[in-house]
Structure 1
Amino acid sequence: MIAPAVDDLVATIRTLVECESPTADHAAVARSADVVTAVGEALLGAAPELIVLDGVTHLRWRLGDRTRVLVLAHHDTVWPLGTLERLPFAVAGGVLTGPGCFDMKAGLAMALHAIAGLDDRDGVTLLVTGDEEVGSPSSRGLIEDTARGARAALVLEASADGGALKLERKGVSLYEVVVDGLAAHAGLEPEKGVNATVELAHKVLAVAALADPAIGTSVTPTVAGSGSTTNTVPARASFAVDVRARTAAEQQRVDAAMRALQPEVPGAHIEIRGGVNRPPLDAPASTALFARAQALAAALGLDDLPGVAVGGASDGNFTAGIGVPTLDGLGAVGGGAHAETEHVLVDELVPRTRLLQALLAELRRAPGEDAS
């Protein structure tokens, strides 16, 4: 195996970061896919499949006749176009910065370089999606179809604090609660209206009460809106709900409770949209792979490799959800995901890429096959 040089990794990250790719801008994501394709062709010597689903551009490199190991990455970010002008790519004092560097363009660069340095790439598939940051609405089926039958899925999302791998992730459910009322003049005849804002207030409190912090279930009302003018009884209101749960049973409990909600204001109607987005990534899905990673890290002379449970979700939830052993958080070490403090520790890039290479080399071989 050939370990990448740190300067080459940094140069690739810069190329990826300097092509902005906010998820909602399909044209920007397509431009980013062109950049990823060019970088990948140069490193891997092969063109990817270009897969456009619901306007979103995804890329897949199948290296061999079948997928033994799936490497998962995404090239979309949360940052709007123009962020790069205000927060340009930079490296100073061993810290790399720039929008999307930590989540997760550094991880994508690491994946490309790790695969490029393998002595044999047969059996490795790299899937780079373009809508992970909004829950992978177009790519979920693609991820699951690509992962089926694989021995392992390795997810290049950034590490947790201190470089820890992510052994458990909560499942995610996303809802929109829509309230329909009846408009009326707020001063002349408010009694003839059905106030959607008042009904929304009842529902926000009812939804928040579904949380169970003792077992790690959060139910969080988020973006809300109501009404059209200050002197009109609002005829429509809505709010979004973010649910995180450690088990599928908890997701189903909350889902059933959401769908059982009834209006409190006479004449109001409510509609519940959305549902379960990602299943939980349970510890058993990652236990064996984590043990392998720890052993390989020790053999490479790397620092102890910790593992943690986290609340955020990733595309690894999908692979674990269909029974594929999954190890997440193999990407960059740093911090500040989705924040202006986003950064990557340069000194950790090569060691983490070497660890990924070692995992790929071991997992892609058939059982009993000699490493030589």
Structure 2
Amino acid sequence: MIQRQETPEAVYIHIPFCTNKCHYCDFNSYVLKGQPVMDYLDALEREMERTVLELPPGEIETIFVGGGTPTVLLPDQMESFLKRVRTYFPQTAANLEFTMEANPGTTDKEKLQAMKEGGVNRISFGVQSFDNKLLEGIGRIHNTDDVYRSLENARAVGFGNLSIDLMFGLPNQTLDTMNDSIDKALELGLTHYSIYSLKVEENTLFHTLFQKNQLPLPDEDVELDMFLLIMDRLKKAGYAQYEISNFAKPGYESRHNSMYWLNRSYYGLGAGAHGYTHGKRHVNIKGIQPYIDATLTRRPLLEHFEISEQEAMEDFMMVGLRLLRGVKRSDFHRQFGRELEDVFGGVLNKLVGQKLLDPTAEGYRLSEQGVLLGNEVFGQFLTGGV
């Protein structure tokens, strides 16, 4: 199993601070006010140092800084943070993709300049909607003016590889307001768009409201129509849907996220971060102070467990089929030394028969119907191996 031998070529780093907690968010994030930011960055450096001693990196292809909202760091904090990243992961590919998530309204030119000088070359903005009333209703603190200003600042500093996230299925959202957001998004002419449906997660305000029947969500048919509209509009505008929720101009697909979808190994650093190295997955301690304290004596692991070959093969299918190109026999054989149909022939034939998968010259991919029922397809592989 190649995951037990390969050195990760991808790095995920978690900055858990936010200006506020959105109503739908269950990520490991904490309101910035009063937090020990520099102590956290020091702890992150200690984790990086211990991690690379234990598993020395080779050439890094992708780095992704997520959150939280990494761009709440002040310019001097941002400069310090990025310097530490370069110190512990110095050997990077000539075409390194270095992404940072950002919230509109938290990226002035000084901060963006620090990001660019620190090696960041791709920014993903959490826009979510171009309807200010909807933004307020989901707990975002930015408005559409902040979006335009942030993108203008990024372009002025020299960033060309820009992505935005949009959401559908939001409370009180209609097909018309979704269409209007797509209009405004496409007018920006960006290289990449990620468009996600709302998931009501536990431990969020929306979950509490949902339990009380106080969350006015669109019905399932309207949500499906929104997804169909999104796919149609972006395809006609020249964006390829390369993954269920992601659309890009040619050559601008997210290479970091593709590492996940191809079931590749990656370093995971920071409070609550997940990693996958040498066939083992880990989750870090989530709380800020407990994370800081743990790094004083050890790697701040909360859980650490080995993935069996069967689990890894199931993961390969479930994440790989998210890519619209599908899974390839050659990739499966390279990772596991086994033939795809020998392991999953029964479930593959069943899904092809149900017209949820299409055979390709190289393997299998979701059919048009399968794209709409992805979770049902993926779940089949949890019991589909022989």
**Higher helix content, 1 or 2:** 2
Task: Please say which structure displays the higher CA radius of gyration.
Answer: 1
Report the TM-score when normalising by structure 2: 0.27
